[in-house]
Chains A and B, each alone.
Chain A
């Protein structure tokens, strides 16, 4: 009645894509993320050097045309290490986010649909999990089960569960009183069906945005754990571990610490930009969780 602009709603896919690529954040983030992903994929078929074969004679070579990022203390090519290390970072983050979503989203949706004690129990569970500083618990988990990429994934994944549960629950709770959900209920649809048909698709954008954020956090967390020696183990290269190895040589070979660090920064930056862009495009009013 007054000149309120039409409430924001999802436009059809084609224009969404166009809109997305017109968004500077999204475009930059997309390009960076795509490059990192391409680098990870490329490393399966080709890296400048074979990093499984240590050539100790070539150790600690400063950046040159042959080794653009230099070599490490075993004579491995750092560029190749970073390329292969990206697989580890991506894999850990993807699976950790996957665990978080696969467990957290159904839990959150269930709590929102069911309400009552289920909801209360979920919230209390979240309280307990959030009461443990995440990194501390990750350190404990990896200490119990031994350091390694798989345990790092589990440790990071566990902390993604309540995050996604919370986002899904909040999103679902805001949708249940919507008129189209009421209409679906009036059409005799059950909670499961409504969740699948109406709730999930409509919280998907929130989850996607949260997913990119958690993905970025996952990469940082993996780097942190590896830095403490609790992440991926040699000979599998990992960015955090490279930093750990390099920090003692910062004086003589700063490039050993700078390039893996930059790899982390660039990747996380790319993902965050992607997330920001997605959020702008999908739901301008969505607030960043955590």
Chain B
């Protein structure tokens, strides 16, 4: 009998079904990858196993863990199971820990509850598991509070909590999605080692095929609350028997067709020139009288970008890439250095004098939900940058321009009379791009433009970026931590680390043959489906 056996599981909220007859099983010591896009029901499946579904949700069907009927078990029995035989790791490490309790308390608490150990014994066990997850005593005493830890370190604490009592099954729900690639690789390594070491079953939930391909023995693909396909990882992903699996796999390795990069025109002023830019932020005051030491977010960065060029700025989270982007967009002023757009030093201009320069550069943000004022209709949203025009267009002209911009991004003119919440994430990102191109800018700065999108949507949006680059000759500065995006759409890559640009070169060269340590770390850590499959196949032979 399997460790976990799910049969015909349905979950519904009111009359709306969330899961429609899910079947799934995990053997002892097995790693099962559960893959699917937003709304596929992956997380709800996991929460059903923990019996931690939100109040209004009702589950039916059969869930058996280690011979226990989970759906019928009394709450007290579930309390005994949770944290002891089943551990769970969540997506968002920043909020998963109680901010007012020390990490020691939070790890030891479950140990004491389940084993009845004394405080001292529980703390000793807690200490051991924290050491094991890579939080050594001298740097991370039990008395640390969560806010004193980084995201990756917090996720290690959550893993320590989940694994403290050597559970038979560990459920990890998108455990690395909120982390950058380097941390992702570290956390995945840790999980893999723990599973091997303790012979735990692991239910690894992810939207990322590459991650799952690397980790899972078997894989289950879900869509809209139903299981599409289940099978051994290597075979499922190489054969791609199910059309949806194929679609997912294709999308995650999708590279848009692009016209070659324009020939670099020597001697001409570059479109964008960043010269020795520095940005300091006030640091935290150490004592009442000492002046706080400034924190240097961007440190002496210089580069140039030609017309029509597409450049990626990659780096781990906190490396300063978003700060740099904000300065280029003249939303922030640098502490030192100069930023020139078409030869004009934008950082020296007053807001009123910035208009002509602003017309030449626009922005696309990451979050397709947060980047629109929810109270405005699409027409007004897309037309917003028209504020920058010398001559304000008439209402009719404005509608025409908005319609044209929407057409460019593949939306219908009638969409301009809707509110943003009536669109899906991908459509919103199209609207976002329409807004960015309505003034016919020469440069679009895109800050993680596809990282909040599902893989299939991401592929479409990347296609759109590529298409616009070709047709309109827009130059891109892509800010991203995702190397596949950089590879897909840019000609050049700059690698940023601790506020400095440590490496720069043609995309393919840098990604295939990184020189700096920072670039190497990024490249090594980046999940890649084809490489993962290659490794897996090689490993089997």
Contact = CB atoms under 8 A, between A and B. Distances in A.
Interface of A: 1-4, 6-7, 9-12, 178-180, 182-190, 193, 197-198, 201-202
Contacts of A189: 384, 387
B373 A202 contact: yes
Interface stretch (B159-167, B242-250, B358-366, B467-475): B358-366
B12 to A, nearest CB: 14
A198 to B, nearest CB: 5
Given A1-B454, A180-B373, A188-B385, 17 more contacts: A1-B38, A2-B43, A2-B207, A3-B39, A3-B40, A7-B370, A11-B419, A179-B367, A179-B371, A183-B371, A183-B435, A186-B329, A186-B385, A188-B351, A190-B351, A201-B373, A202-B374
B3 interface: no
Nearest to A4: B38
Contact of A188 (B367, B387, B421): B387
B372 interface: yes
Given A1-B174, A1-B454, A182-B363, A6 B384 contact: no
A3 B373 contact: no
11 contacts: A1-B38, A1-B174, A1-B207, A2-B177, A3-B43, A6-B421, A7-B369, A9-B369, A10-B421, A186-B362, A188-B385
Contact of B42 (A3, A11, A186, A193): A3
B388 A180 contact: no
A282 to B, nearest CB: 11
Given A2-B42, A3-B38, A3-B42, A180 B385 contact: no
B373 A198 contact: yes
A12 B42 contact: no
Interface residues of B, number: 46
B41 interface: yes
B91 A2 contact: yes
B355 interface: yes
A2 B173 contact: yes
Contacts of B454: 1
Given A3-B38, A3-B39, A179 B174 contact: no
Contacts of A185: 331
A173 to B, nearest CB: 16
B375 A2 contact: no
Nearest to A184: B384
B354 interface: yes
Nearest to A201: B375
B356 to A, nearest CB: 9
Which of A1, A12, A201 has the most chain B CB atoms closer than 10 A to its own CB?
A1
Interface in B113-164: none
B44 interface: yes
Interface in B207-256: 207
Given A12-B419, A188-B388, A179 B329 contact: no
A11 B385 contact: no
Contacts of B374: 9-10, 202
B421 A9 contact: yes
A211 B421 CA distance: 27
A180 B370 contact: yes
B421 A182 contact: no
Given A1-B38, A2-B43, A183 B177 contact: no
A183 B375 contact: no
Contact of B384 (A2, A7, A183): A183
B339 to A, nearest CB: 14
A11 B387 contact: no
Closest 3 CB pairs of A and B: A9-B374, A179-B371, A187-B385
Interface in B331-377: 331, 351, 354-355, 358-359, 361-363, 365-367, 369-375
A189 B374 CA distance: 18
B394 to A, nearest CB: 19
A12 B326 CA distance: 32
Contacts of A184: 373, 384
Given A183-B384, A183-B435, A178 B370 contact: yes
Contacts of A193: 387
